[in-house]
């Protein structure tokens, strides 16, 4: 990052504009036994079936799993990576934004010390 925050911010905007499609969630690569007696997956050492690819994510608090082919999983891997880059970029933009907007706010006069309306004061609580 440079010493010029607005330049850093523009750089992040550029990064953001280059991010294509994205997905969230986790890609799993699994090997599994089938349970058939005498199958190689039951031998010692076991030769498990697979790989099987699964994309899991949370939808309304529930884990949803989708099976994928190897080719589909390869695409999804890229989209998930793009999603992570998106999150990183937005988080960094938020950090820089907070600093920059703090500076802008401090260039203006602050609010008057006391609110004149006693009704509003009475409503105040520790949370607000």
| Minimum CB distance to Zn ion smaller for 39 or for 82 | 39
> Could you tell me if 67 and 50 are in contact, meaning their C-beta atoms sit under 8 angstroms apart?
no
CB 62, min distance to Zn ion, A: 30
- What is the C-alpha to C-alpha distance for residues 44 and 6, in angstroms, rounded to an integer? 62
Q: Please select the residue that binds Zn ion; options are 9, 15, 23, 39, rule is CB under 5 A.
A: 39
Q: Judged by CB under 5 A, which of 34, 64, 75, 115 binds Zn ion?
A: 34
Angle between helix 70-106 and 5-18 (nearest 10): 150
Q: How far is the CB of 51 from Zn ion (least distance, A)?
A: 14
Kindly state whether residue 75 participates in binding Zn ion, applying the rule CB under 5 A: no
**Which residues would be at the binding site for Zn ion (CB under 5 A)?**
34, 39, 41
């Amino acid at each position: 990052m440079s010493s010029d925050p607005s330049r850093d911010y523009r750089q992040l905007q550029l990064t953001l504009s280059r991010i294509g499609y994205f997905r969230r969630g986790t890609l799993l690569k699994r090997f599994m036994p089938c349970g058939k007696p005498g199958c190689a997956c039951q031998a010692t050492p076991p030769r498990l079936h697979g790989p099987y690819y699964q994309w899991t994510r949370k939808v309304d608090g529930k884990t949803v799993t989708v099976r994928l082919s190897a080719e589909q999983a390869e695409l999804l891997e890229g989209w998930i990576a793009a999603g992570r880059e998106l999150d990183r970029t937005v988080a960094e933009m938020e950090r820089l934004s907070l600093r920059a907007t703090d500076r802008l706010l401090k260039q203006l006069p602050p609010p008057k010390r006391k609110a004149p309306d006693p009704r509003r004061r009475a409503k105040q609580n520790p949370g607000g």
